[in-house]
Amino acid sequence: MIRLGNVLVSPGEGGVYGERMLEGYRVWDPYRSKFAAYYLLGGGLDLTPGMRVLYLGAANGTTVSHVADYVETVYAVEFAPRPMQDLLEVARRRKNIVPIMADANRPDAYAPFMEAVDLVYQDVAQPNQVEIAEKNLVFLKPGGHLVLMLKTRSVDVRRDPADVVAEARAGLEQHLDVVEVRWLEPYHHDHAAIVCSRRG
């Protein structure tokens, strides 16, 4: 990952969502991207040029565009029509983004467009966030990684966020090795990044 001082940046063409430029690089804002927050808070999973990524919950393509600056291919899944319009425009400008309008709960619907990936990134804020991640492990290579951006208040607003994360971790450990759990304060309240690796 590229940093200029304490600023996280990516090396692609600017002007995707009005982001600042710094010495020819795009500033990756941690307040607008949970992935950027994870890195700036010391997260240890790097994006590398040969990677193929399945991105669940692509939304308008803000974070997707930065991920695409670093990796070979991003399969970007989004269900809502309005954000999908923005995502299509982002994909038009970055040829390594494959936009897929589909429900991340139903990976069978986009399996024909997929290949095995090195990273599954899950940012779908629904009560069954862990289940969605697990359903999409079918695409993850042995030795690959899952990054689950867990929005604890979407799982259960009444429960302690730490308990929600502990339960999610326990569920994921049935299928994967949990590498790290990192809270995203102060950038994203009650969010935690759970990073897992798939057993070889």
Query: Is 22 domain-assigned?
Result: no
Residue 176 is predicted with a pLDDT of 95
pLDDT digits (tens, 9 = 90+) for 98-109: 999 999 999 999
Residue 121 is predicted with a pLDDT of 97
Q: How many domains does the chain have?
A: 1
Residue 45 is predicted with a pLDDT of 93
Residue 104, marked binder: yes
Residue 163, marked binder: no
Predicted confidence (pLDDT) at residue 156 exceeds the cutoff of 80: no
Edge-first strand order for the sheet with 2-4 is 2-4, 7-10, 25-27, 21-22
Residue 157, marked binder: no
What is the rounded CA–CA span in Å between residue 178 and residue 73? 25
For residue 114, give its domain range: 32-197
Residue 125, marked binder: yes
Query: Is 2 domain-assigned?
Result: no
What is the rounded CA–CA span in Å between residue 124 and residue 150? 8
Q: What is the mean pLDDT of the chain?
A: 94
Residue 62, marked binder: yes
Domain at 75, CATH number: 3.40.50.150
pLDDT digits (tens, 9 = 90+) for 5-38: 999 999 999 999 999 999 999 999 999 999 999 9
Residue 181 β-bridge partners: 194
Query: Is 1 domain-assigned?
Result: no
pTM of the model as a whole: 0.95
pLDDT digits (tens, 9 = 90+) for 123-147: 998 889 999 999 999 999 999 999 9
Query: Is 143 domain-assigned?
Result: yes
Residue 126, marked binder: yes
Query: Is 116 domain-assigned?
Result: yes
